[in-house]
Chains A and B, each alone.
Chain A
Amino acid sequence: MSTARTLYASSQASATAGGQVSLIDVLDRLLAGGVVVHGHITLAAADIDLVDLDLEILLASHDKVVRG
């Protein structure tokens, strides 16, 4: 149940993609942003690189983002 929160999109096509984009944005922020409090972060640094680089590809076919 991903909340669509597109504030602006160039076209209908990109608006449709907006839901997907906002999921990518939520991942970008929650997994690679936010203050690191030196707790036990779920993702290793390598996974975060993965999130940064290959997210779009991962998201296209997977419901689960990263194996926990």
Chain B
Amino acid sequence: MSVLVYAIAQPGDTPLAGYGLEHKPLRAIHAHALMAIVSDHEAAAPRPQVESLWEYERIVERIAQVRAIVPARFGSVMDGDDAVVEMLRSKREHLLTVLDHTRGAVELSVRATWEQAPEPEHQTGTGYMRARLQLRSRAREVAGELMPLDKLSRTSRCKLPAGPEQSMRCAYLVDRELVEDFTASLRRLDRQLRDVELVCTGPWPPYSFAEAAPA
């Protein structure tokens, strides 16, 4: 029987309860001082539809309410318990490192969007290039002005903007008790930044800090 993996944790005192996708009961597979939280699953991986993604997210959040976890990527179907045990063995060091690094923290997402969408330049190629360069250099300045957020987080990870209308998108790993300080700091920075709109979402389980080694 295939299993769907939701998260990895260290065994603790809190018993595991509740249901996974398709209302299958959650259970733990213990091995190598770790536990994988799974539900039995028919062979095919779940389809990444909006509804099932949000349901998965709520399941992972419930699991994370009472324990530190490394969330698994959506659609992590494995060929039975033995495969999970082998995964726990082979990834043990990495999983323990991530658990240590993220325990007690949540992930917050910050996106900056230009207040006025950059106008497409229909003039000359040079004009277009100049506009793009100005935008890039301003994006770097915005990133600099948001540096105080880094001080409030254990670590952060930024990706290239998804399009020219965005200046940046970053994930911050923030201690639970500092979330309010973080949003307060964001509000202060926002008043100084005239040309961008900021949106912060969260708290999320530490998805963006689960795979790469902590910096």
Main secondary structure of the interface of B (DSSP, over half): mixed
Question: Which residues of chain B are near A42, meaning CB under 8 Å?
Answer: 45-48, 74-75
Question: Which residues of chain A are near B210, meaning CB under 8 Å?
Answer: 33-35
Quick check: A29 and B72 within 8 Å, CB to CB?
Answer: no
Interface size range of chain A in the complex: 35 or more
Q: Which of B30-56 contact A (CB under 8 A)?
A: 36, 45-51, 53-54, 56
Question: What sequence of 0s and 1s flags, for each residue 1-45 of chain A, a beta carbon within 8 Å of any chain B beta carbon?
Answer: 111011111110111011001110111111111111111111100
Question: Which residues of chain A are near B162, meaning CB under 8 Å?
Answer: 52-53, 55-56
Question: Which residues of chain B are near A6, meaning CB under 8 Å?
Answer: 199-201
B interface residues, tally (CB under 8 Å): 60
Question: Which residues of chain A are near B48, meaning CB under 8 Å?
Answer: 27, 30-31, 42-43, 65-66, 68
CA distance A5 to B72 in the complex (A): 21
Main secondary structure of the interface of A (DSSP, over half): mixed
Quick check: A17 and B8 within 8 Å, CB to CB?
Answer: no
Task: Name the residue of chain A whose CB is nearest to the CB of B109.
Answer: A25
List the interface of chain B (C-beta within 8 A of A): 5, 8, 36, 45-51, 53-54, 56-58, 70-79, 83-84, 87, 91, 94-95, 98, 107-109, 111, 113, 159, 162-163, 169, 179, 183, 186-187, 190, 196-205, 207-208, 210-211
